[in-house]
Amino acid sequence: MAERTFSPAAANSDPVLETRLLASLNPGTWDEAKFANLDAAMFSSRECRALYEQMEQAAAKREAFPKVDGEPVGDVGEAARRVVELYQRRLLAVALDGLRDGLAENRDVTDVISRVEAALAAARLAAGDRVGEARSFVELLPAIMANAQAVAEARAEGRPLGLQTGIPKLDKLIGGLQTGLHVLAAEPGAGKTTLCLQWAREAAARGIPALFLTFDETPERLALKTLCAAAGLPQKEYAEGFGDLAKLEQARQEWAEKLRLLYFIEGAATMTVSQLRARTMQAMERHGAETAFVVVDYTQRWAGGRYQGGGEFRHDIGKLIGELRDELANPLRIPVVAVSSQNRAGQGTAQFLSLAESSSLEYTGDTVMFLQEDKESAAIYPNRAVKLVVKKNRFGDVDEGGVPLIFKPAFGKLLEEAIHV
């Protein structure tokens, strides 16, 4: 065997960082480490592994953490991710060693490949990647039975299986916003942001963390819209400085606690779906929730910020939509709404071809809904008659006739009942 002058495994260990990280862990910082998928096996020394296991037991029992001598790190999450990365690098070093040794010793090629693949799979799993993981039929049976029971209970209680939208006819049609990717498309000004805010408000009020990722409006403006809509106040008056501040303060006191699970995230071109997933997991852990609700408003703006040229823009949207489903909605078992604009040729219609820049929205979405003007209904100004057309529904039937709604822009609401104010 050839003599080695460099050991990748030894080079990818940082005992000092590991000790500093352990010195930084306490009940207040524990979640940051767990969100990085940190595990005892990832520490390079036996002492650090033992200390981390003690901390895991203390966290489970809500007891004091063992004291560790060392200078705390500045960012626990970043340090934890670095320890995970070094562990992955050591696993890759194992794969490299196995490949080199196998070739040098003229081992069977199939055996060499198997050993390398096993090491690579372990490296992927270290970061929580379960893509392609084989799960046995027997392993899946408990989940199947639990889901069947949940469906039966929901039907018996007359409620949708998924998140209630506040629109009874829509809930009956799609079973509420269930786990998966839901596409909502409309022309500008049709009320898609208002509708998504309404859904997010409904989720938060029911104790479900709701995260609203916005690329179109500031979090402050969306929070004002949410507060005014919840309290029945005319948001435009407050946006322009004419609103009754005493009423707004009364609304704040009434709704601050009720909507404490509602979060707004200001989108950035550099943001990744993995980062959005981390924010979602943090909110779920913080509130002890088994599910969450996420809105992306809207997909073309996010994909446009990520677009680097050198290819077709629609491919970037397709990649983003696929990540939202495969890296966020499905792994966390949560409903995610992806808001889409419509191209000019298709505005005002409920046609798949109108989805701006991408047919991936049509194929990837579990439901595809269009919010469009209802020309057959007469709403009293300034209210507007619209309808929500369910064009695709993997959970049941479609309804191209649409669910009739009244859009009340002044109060930030869409109501199923034709109430004119």
**CATH superfamily of this structure's domain 8-126:** DNAb Helicase; Chain A (1.10.860.10)
Contact status, residue 298 vs residue 340, Cβ threshold 8 Å: yes
Domain with CATH 1.10.860.10 in the chain: 8-126
pLDDT more than 70, % of the chain: 84
Q: What's the pLDDT band for 266 if we cut at 50, 70, 90?
A: very high
Q: What's the pLDDT band for 97 if we cut at 50, 70, 90?
A: confident
pLDDT at position 37? 80
DSSP string, 167-185: -HHHHHHH-SB-SEEEEEE
Q: Is the pLDDT of residue 367 over 90?
A: yes
Q: What is the pLDDT of residues 305-330, one digit of tens each?
A: 655 554 555 567 778 888 899 889 99
pLDDT at position 197? 95
CA separation for the pair 43, 179 (Å, rounded): 35
Contact status, residue 283 vs residue 209, Cβ threshold 8 Å: yes
Show the CA angle centred on residue 269, arms to residues 265 and 271, nearest 5°. 55
Domain with CATH 3.40.50.300 in the chain: 160-415
Q: Which of 289, 294, 288 is nearest to 263 (CA)?
A: 294
More confident residue, 375 or 52: 52
Helix H or strand E segment including 55? helix 46-61
> Is the CATH number of domain 160-415 3.30.2130.10?
no
Q: What is the pLDDT of residues 181-238, one digit of tens each?
A: 999 988 888 889 999 999 999 999 999 999 999 998 999 999 999 999 999 998 889 8
Beta strands 367-373; 210-214: pairing state: unpaired
CA separation for the pair 75, 32 (Å, rounded): 9
Contact status, residue 14 vs residue 90, Cβ threshold 8 Å: no
Helices (H), 288-332: 299-306, 313-323, 330-332
Please give the distance of CA 176 from its chain centroid, rounded to a whole number: 17
Please state which of the ranges 106-115, 178-187, 242-251 shows the lowest mean pLDDT: 106-115
